[in-house]
Structure 1
Amino acid sequence: MQHIKDQRIVLGLVTTKTPELEEKAALKARIKEASQYVPLGQLCLSPQCGFSSTHEGNKVSEEDQWKKFALIIETAKEVWGDQ
């Protein structure tokens, strides 16, 4: 990846389309896989898009949205530390 210098690469691994939480181990595995191509310090974790990405919105409650954000934060702290 010679074109990636000091940019950050955002991995949108958490879906906003359904309320089910992703498995933390699966998120970590995908981050580890991406780190084979881009240094870990240049990677970030996020939802794959907004929670209202359609006119009608998605069938994800506010409580489920917060659970997804908590999962992202928890996973990021375990992968990158408490920076």
Structure 2
Amino acid sequence: MEVKDGAVIRRCRKEKRYSQRELAFLVRRSQNTIHLIESGKLRSISEDLAVALAARLGRNWDELFIAHEIVPVVEHAS
């Protein structure tokens, strides 16, 4: 999953009155991970983390993140 905008994550967190440390605890990650997401330095995160963040921030995941579909590779016999 790709983070759309770290500043939006920060605003949502502040609306819920969570510190970075509190949100990190709730989603079982480090405070530094939350900082990196909010500052735009961590743009690609796991689906599990995206869903957990969205749930704790009271948002739909697609408001905050972009899903990247995995395209299967089909091998052709030679």
Q: TM-score, normalised by structure 2?
A: 0.29
The answer to which structure has the higher helix fraction is: 2
Q: Radius of gyration: which is bigger? A: 2
Give the TM-score taking structure 1 as reference length: 0.27
Q: Which has the higher strand share?
A: 1
